[in-house]
């Protein structure tokens, strides 16, 4: 089977011509780097994306903390993860990289903070 996909690994956005059968990738053409070949394999058999969002934070000078999954997760799980994210509320202080939710929705990825927020008593 053949399929043309656009690599999303970096802003270059290479057009990948992928040749594959039921089990494996046979050939990938058009990739500028080896991330493209890796992406093609995943995209054909089990597409994955990184989810980035925000959670509520109390005691910081801003109301929201930006977060991400620390690796890409199955595309099918994205909306379950978002539902879980809506429920989370945490307390400042928090450091960039701190785990907010381990193995979120059984995706294998941890939800981590992408920002450092100190505790403050100052009302925004």
Partner 1 sequence: MIKNVDAIVIGGGPAGMAAALSLKNNGIEKVLIAEREDFLGGILLQCIHNGFGLHRFKEELTGPEYAERYIDFLKSTDVEVLLKTCAIDIVSTGKKKKVYLMSESSGLIEVNAKVVILAMGCRERNRGNIAIPGSRPAGVMTAGLAQKLVNRYGYMPGKEIVILGSGDIGLIMARRMTWEGAKVKAVIELQSYPGGLNRNIVQCLNDYNIPLYLSHTITNIYGNERIRAVDVAPINEFREPLKENTFNITCDALLLSVGLIPENELSSNAGVCLDKVTGGPLVDSNLMTSISGIFACGNVLHVHDLVDWASEEAEDCGKSAGEYFKTAIVQAKGIPVKAGHLVRYALPSTLEPGKPGLISLRTIAPAENAAIIVKAGDSVLYKKTHKKIFPSEMQRIKIDTVPENADAIHVYFE
The dihedral over CA atoms of 41, 42, 47, 50, expressed in degrees to the nearest 10, equals -140
- Site membership for partner 1, residue 96 (CB under 8 A): yes
Q: Given the rule CB under 8 A, which of 19-27, 73-81, 99-107 is the region that contacts partner 1? A: 73-81
The minimum distance between CB 8 and partner 1, in angstroms, equals 4
CA-based nearest residue to 34, from 1, 7, 5: 7
* Closer Cβ to partner 1, 21 or 118, answer by number: 118
Q: Residues with Cβ < 8 Å from 82, sequence gap 6 or more? A: 51, 53
The minimum distance between CB 10 and partner 1, in angstroms, equals 5
């Amino acid at each position: 089977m053949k399929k043309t996909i656009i690599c999303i690994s970096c802003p270059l956005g290479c057009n990948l011509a992928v040749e594959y059968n039921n089990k494996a990738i046979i050939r990938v053409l058009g990739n500028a780097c080896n991330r493209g070949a890796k992406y093609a394999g995943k995209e054909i058999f089990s597409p994955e994306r990184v989810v980035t969002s925000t959670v509520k934070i109390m005691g910081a000078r801003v109301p929201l903390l930006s977060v991400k999954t620390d690796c890409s997760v199955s595309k099918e799980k994205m909306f379950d993860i978002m539902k879980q994210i809506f429920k989370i509320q945490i307390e400042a202080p928090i450091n960039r990289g701190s785990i907010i939710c381990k193995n979120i929705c059984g995706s294998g990825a941890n939800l981590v903070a992408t920002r450092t927020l100190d505790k403050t008593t100052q009302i925004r």
